[in-house]
Structures are given as structure tokens and as C-alpha cells.
């Protein structure tokens, strides 16, 4: 659904244009302006548009640690609701979100590094090199890693993490038990994590 801010109407400030659809840059600027006014509909629209891409981005930042990725994404949207005011276009908006994600990742990484209770973050590099990599490169790393998974593993990762399908729903689709889904997903997750680490170690 295309989005357009119409300040002159008392109805929803984020509406579909009945004329020529706005460009991606116009939509991004409109969303940011509506976010600055605290409009909940704009926040939902921005979340729907960028949640999946941010999760993919954060997943590579954390070398395949999905719990870390989820924490980072949640923090990004909290920060976005508080601080996003205006952008110059779609690329500017994405770069702003990605920069916040890198900042949140760095904070979480430092906390885990100094907290023995969170020492499972062995997937994070000591120099945090992944944070400095160009955004597009990080997205390509995930795409390349996913391609190396088996078709079933790739499908599991996609429908669970990117389409938010429950274990029960996946089990029904695959005609297996939820426990079997959990086991297969765990194996696919570990394989993906290792593939991401390997790719990053070769490129950094």
C-alpha cells in the first residue's frame, strides 16, 4: 500500500494516494514526518516495511545470533519512535535505521563481552569488525549463507524468522510434530550461524 501524508484532512494522516503513487523517497519522507508527529499508524507502516530487513541486517551483525538480532531490532524501533524526525529519502531512512542498529549492536556486544552470564556470544568478533562493513555487504552475506542451506533448512529459516510462523503451524504444514520442527530449526540455525561466521572471516 502506498503511503502519503495529507496534513489538510482530519482523517488518517497516512493515506493511499488516489492520483499518481508517490515515489519511494516521498513515502519515506512522509513516514518520517508522521513519525515525528507521533502518529501510531505511521509507526506501524514503518515497522511493517523495515522489520524484516532490519532483522536480516542484525542477524549478520550478530554472526547468526537470532536472540541478539531480535533485541537489536526491538531497540532500533524504540529509538526510532523517540528520535526519527525527518529524512531526505528512502536511502537516507534506511541508512539511519542501519546506523541505529549498528549502535545498538555495539552496546549489546560490549555488555555481553564484560558479562560472564552472557558469554555465549562467541560468535561476535573481538574487534567488532562486522559493524564497520558496508550495509549492502552484510545483507549479501546473509543471502549467500541462506543459499548454502538445504532447501528444507532455508524454508524453515524463512517461514519462522521472516514470516513469523509458529512451530505448530510449521508442523501442520510439514506433517511432523512441533518437537521435530524445533529440532530441525535448531540444526538449521546453527548451520546458518557457522556459514555467516565463515563468510565474514573470509571477507574481513
Each residue of 103-142: pLDDT tens digit? 988 887 777 665 544 444 344 333 333 333 446 777 788 8
Last residue of a domain, one of 125, 149, 168: 125
Question: Residues 204, 141: one domain?
Answer: yes
- Residues 84-100 have a mean pLDDT of 91
Each residue of 138-168: pLDDT tens digit? 778 888 888 898 998 888 888 887 777 888 9
pLDDT value for 203: 61
Question: Residues 75, 164: one domain?
Answer: no
What is the rounded CA–CA span in Å between residue 171 and residue 9?
47
Residue 159: give the domain boundaries: 133-204
What is the rounded CA–CA span in Å between residue 56 and residue 137?
12
Question: Residues 76, 144: one domain?
Answer: no
Query: Worst-scoring range by mean pLDDT, 38-42, 158-162, 189-193?
Result: 158-162
Last residue of a domain, one of 106, 125, 144: 125
Question: Residues 118, 154: one domain?
Answer: no
Question: Residues 165, 148: one domain?
Answer: yes
Each residue of 44-90: pLDDT tens digit? 999 999 998 899 898 888 888 888 888 999 999 999 999 998 999 99
What 3-state DSSP class applies to 15? strand
At residue 21 the predicted structure's pLDDT band, cuts being 50, 70 and 90, is low
Question: Residues 141, 88: one domain?
Answer: no
User: What is the value of pTM for the model shown?
Assistant: 0.63
Domain containing 141 — which CATH number? 1.10.10.10
Question: Residues 101, 11: one domain?
Answer: yes
Cα→Cα distances 189→39, 87, 122, 180, Å:
36, 35, 15, 14
Question: Residues 5, 101: one domain?
Answer: yes
CA neighbor of 66 nearest in space, from 198, 186, 173: 186
Last residue of a domain, one of 77, 104, 125: 125
Question: Residues 40, 82: one domain?
Answer: yes
Question: Residues 100, 63: one domain?
Answer: yes
Question: Residues 20, 89: one domain?
Answer: yes
Domain containing 10 — which CATH number? 1.10.1740.10
Scanning 135-177, the segments in alpha helix (DSSP H) are: 135-147, 151-157, 167-174
Give buried/exposed letters for 124-159 (b at 16+ CB in 10 A, else e): beeeeebbebebeebbebbeebbeebeeebbebbeb
Partners of 8 in the beta sheet?
none
Question: Residues 143, 88: one domain?
Answer: no
Rounded to a whole number of angstroms, the CA Rg of the chain reads 19
- In this structure, what is the dihedral angle of CA atoms 188, 192, 193, 199, given to the nearest 10 degrees? 160
- Residues 22-50 have a mean pLDDT of 91
pLDDT value for 124: 37
Q: What is the count of structural domains for the chain?
A: 2
Amino acid at each position: 500500500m502506498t503511503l502519503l501524508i495529507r496534513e489538510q484532512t482530519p482523517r488518517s494522516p497516512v493515506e493511499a494516494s488516489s492520483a499518481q503513487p508517490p515515489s519511494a523517497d516521498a513515502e519515506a519522507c512522509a513516514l518520517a514526518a508522521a513519525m515525528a508527529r507521533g502518529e501510531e499508524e505511521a509507526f506501524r507502516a514503518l515497522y511493517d516495511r523495515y522489520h524484516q530487513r532490519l532483522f536480516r541486517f542484525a542477524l549478520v551483525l550478530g554472526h547468526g545470533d537470532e536472540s541478539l538480532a531480535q533485541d537489536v531490532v526491538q531497540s532500533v524501533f524504540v529509538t526510532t519512535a523517540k528520535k526519527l524526525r525527518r529524512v531526505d529519502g528512502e536511502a537516507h531512512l534506511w541508512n539511519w535505521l542501519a546506523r541505529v542498529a549498528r549502535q545498538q549492536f555495539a552496546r549489546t556486544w560490549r555488555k555481553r563481552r564484560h558479562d560472564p552470564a552472557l558469554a555465549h556470544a562467541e560468535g561476535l568478533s573481538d574487534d567488532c569488525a562486522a559493524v564497520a562493513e558496508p550495509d549492502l555487504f552484510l545483507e549479501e552475506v546473509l543471502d549467500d549463507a541462506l543459499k548454502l542451506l538445504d532447501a528444507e533448512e532455508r524454508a524453515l529459516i524463512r517461514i519462522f524468522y521472516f514470516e513469523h510462523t509458529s512451530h505448530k503451524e510449521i508442523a501442520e504444514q510439514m506433517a511432523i510434530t512441533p518437537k521435530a520442527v524445533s529440532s530441525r530449526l535448531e540444526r538449521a540455525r546453527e548451520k546458518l550461524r557457522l556459514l555467516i561466521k565463515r563468510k565474514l572471516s573470509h571477507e574481513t
